[in-house]
Amino acid sequence: MPRPAPEAIGPSRSGTVALIGRPNVGKSTLLNAALQQPLSIVSKTPQTTRDALLGVVHHGSAELALLDTPGLHRPRTQLGRVMNEAARDAARRADVVVFVTDVSPRPVKHKEDGTPIAPRPLLPHPGDLVLLSDLAPDRPVLLVVNKVDVLRDKRHLLPLLEAYGKVRNFDAVVPVSAQREDGITLVLDEIARFLPEGPFRYGVDDVTDKPARYFAAEYVREQILRATQDEVPHAAAVSIDRYAEPRAPGQAVQIDATIHVERQGQKRILIGTAGAMMKRIGIAARERIEELVGGKVVLRLWVAVTPDWRESVPRLEELGYGRARGGATDAAEYMIVAERDAEADEANDTADDEGDEGDEDLDAEGEEDEDLDEEDLDDDDEGTLDEDEEE
């Protein structure tokens, strides 16, 4: 059900709002709840968000330019350092900072006789203490405590809020459940109070400043995160080789995309047996993109091995990290573009075996030409950060 729009009272206000916090605390879910549409990609994988993403909300007499940012963490790759800088830059430029944390569910422990043991008081996450110390003291900072729905006894929440209050004098504190969209209106109300007075900078129907081809790449990556879980998500990036608008009404948007991974084993996982994994990813991504563009989409996917792309500054820039994404890249030296024929153009998604060497691992029969090498899966500790590894 759409959220009731508040009445526009008082002078117009407009400003930039940075959503800052550790990975997986729910910043992207909070943005989507504020927008009332799933613009930002969401998954259970840490560091899902890699860019600062603008989402514009008009709330009464206020215009909120919300910036979803990558989760601040201890980086192990150049990509991680670029992501951290994107988040910190958003915080530096913002008129208001919303610091997002969460309530981690705790299992109930029992004594030998079955009596439940009273849980210890909830305390601020150690990583939050570090991040809060980095925030500018002269900027309005709101604390949003997410996932409060996991607390069976809400009395445990008050000591946690008091503990955060001793770390910093927040301008407002709002407990929410972003997934259930509980407390979102109050968050927007509180943000609006601290925005500077001024005219709106965006149109009433504007939602973001990113082009559709940016979201095409992101929605493909979202399905990789969901389909592969802990296997290859951190080593995958997506570039758009072609994005062609329909030439006539009723025709489809034509999208060619390359999925970049770092190892042959990761590539074989993405393709799957007889291309099954690639088909699953392609269908789900195409449906997501069709919702965005409001029409039919023909999506063709290829997989290319781009060794150590997360550590290469030039390749990160070519893939759009570290600058605005959405335009064409100059990555011809490593980006594999398959040959296309009329039959392929009719397909909604494909793992084409007509391309250059290294483009994919399917032979003419549609079977994998090599067995899966388990040793190629040992990259999980390169990207997946345990909670105690985060800043």
Strand-pairing partners, residue 304, are: 260
Q: What's the token pair of residue 28?
A: 């992207």
* Cβ contact 33:184 at 8 Å: yes
Domains of the chain with CATH codes: 13-194 (3.40.50.300), 212-383 (3.30.300.20)
Q: Where do the H-state alpha helices sit in the chain?
A: 27-35, 78-93, 126-134, 157-167, 184-194, 212-228, 264-271, 276-293, 313-318, 342-346, 380-383
Pick out the residues of the known binding site.
21-28, 68-72, 146-149
Pick out the residues of the known binding site for GTP.
21-28, 68-72, 146-149
Instruction: List, in order, residues 6 or more apart from 306 with CB less than 8 Å away.
Output: 237, 260, 261, 262, 315, 334, 335
What single-letter amino acid sits at 322? Answer: G
Instruction: List, in order, residues 6 or more apart from 65 with CB less than 8 Å away.
Output: 14, 15, 16, 17, 54, 55, 56, 201, 202
pLDDT tens, the chain, 391 aa long: 678 878 888 999 999 999 999 999 999 999 999 999 999 999 989 899 999 999 999 999 999 999 999 999 999 999 999 999 999 999 999 999 999 999 976 666 777 777 767 667 788 999 999 999 999 999 999 999 999 999 888 888 999 999 999 999 999 999 999 999 999 999 999 999 999 999 999 999 999 999 999 999 999 999 999 999 766 889 999 999 999 999 999 999 999 999 999 999 999 999 999 999 999 999 999 999 999 999 999 999 999 999 999 999 999 999 999 754 443 333 322 222 222 233 333 433 343 333 333 444 333 233 333 333 333 323 333 333 333 333 3
Total-model pTM: 0.80
**Distance in angstroms (rounded) separating the CA atoms of residues 226 and 105:** 22
| Closest alpha carbon to 379 in 310, 301, 316 | 310
**CA-CA-CA-CA torsion sign (287, 293, 297, 299):** negative
